[in-house]
Homo-oligomer: A and B are copies of this chain.
């Protein structure tokens, strides 16, 4: 069967390579690099973190499919607070996925929040704020963790990871922001920059639309269940909106993990993006060296890097 990632050779050489991986790029005779699976298997417990339950959204879709979203209060604190309020008050329960535009976004919210619908039927926001300041970028803070990538970026002066999120930095404007990569969750809004409040969110399901960066507030990132948002039928209306109610995927509930009894909270860990194992993953992806990849790229784009998650039980 033609496949992309044969691992037999890499497996055989895994042990002897673990310590010396970063040096491989300079070796005259390339040796197989570890596979992501092997690097993760060798990771240490301290290299993994458990998302703060106060920043973890649990969205349950029809069919019981679970999507986990980690909020990013370091970058969009006011939006995180408002989304927590919406979740506390069960705002999203009974709403739906209203839009799936191929190679762009899956968006969810209130089907009646539409120019062509009866807005009088919209679900009340409860105690959540109706509008919020943009929070499209934040002041650059040297104290925020930043694992910079070595290969540059088409759009920004500096890119890397901060607390698990793909981030861009501009030393000139002294701003930083989470970038729109696959799985990034943003705050949909109308034309005005202050018209978003978190009651309608979107996840990126295609090529990173980096042109959205600094024009929308990024609420966070899907850390599990992305396939339940990316594999939905595309909407046939303008911008991928569904044209018929029955085409929409119902949202059963959206809960903040902190609002769930500890026993019911999702068991999930995320690899720290400032860990040695994450650095090994990045280097292994920059320079794949196995029997399949004869010409390692020697480069990696920010949005081509996935941050691993796991069920802690798998690590036992």
Q: Which residues of A are interface residues toward B (Cβ below 8 A)? A: 1-6, 98, 100, 102-103, 105, 107, 109, 113-115, 117, 136, 151-155, 181-183, 187-191, 193, 195-196, 200, 206-215, 226-227, 230-234, 239, 241, 285, 288, 291-297, 299-301, 303-304, 306
Contacts and interface: CB of A to CB of B under 8 A. Distances in A.
Contacts of A153: 154
B297 A193 contact: no
B239 A5 contact: yes
Closest 4 CB pairs of A and B: A2-B188, A1-B114, A211-B297, A227-B234
A155 B299 contact: yes
Contacts of A189: 2
Please indicate which of the listed interface residues A2, A102, A230, A292 has the most CB atoms of chain B within 10 Å of its own CB: A2
Q: Is the interface of A mostly helix, strand, loop or mixed?
A: loop
Please indicate which of the listed interface residues A103, A182, A239, A288 has the most CB atoms of chain B within 10 Å of its own CB: A103
Contacts of A193: 294
Number of copies of this kind of chain in the complex = 2
A211 B1 contact: no
A301 B209 CA distance: 9
Nearest to A295: B214
A102 B226 contact: yes
A304 B190 contact: no
B181 A207 contact: yes
Contacts of A196: 2
A10 to B, nearest CB: 11
A102 B191 contact: no
A306 B4 contact: no
Given A209-B304, A232-B231, A293 B215 contact: yes
27 contacts: A1-B117, A1-B190, A2-B187, A2-B189, A2-B196, A3-B188, A4-B105, A102-B226, A103-B183, A103-B230, A154-B300, A155-B297, A155-B299, A193-B294, A206-B230, A207-B208, A209-B304, A210-B297, A211-B285, A211-B288, A211-B300, A213-B297, A214-B295, A215-B292, A227-B234, A231-B231, A231-B234
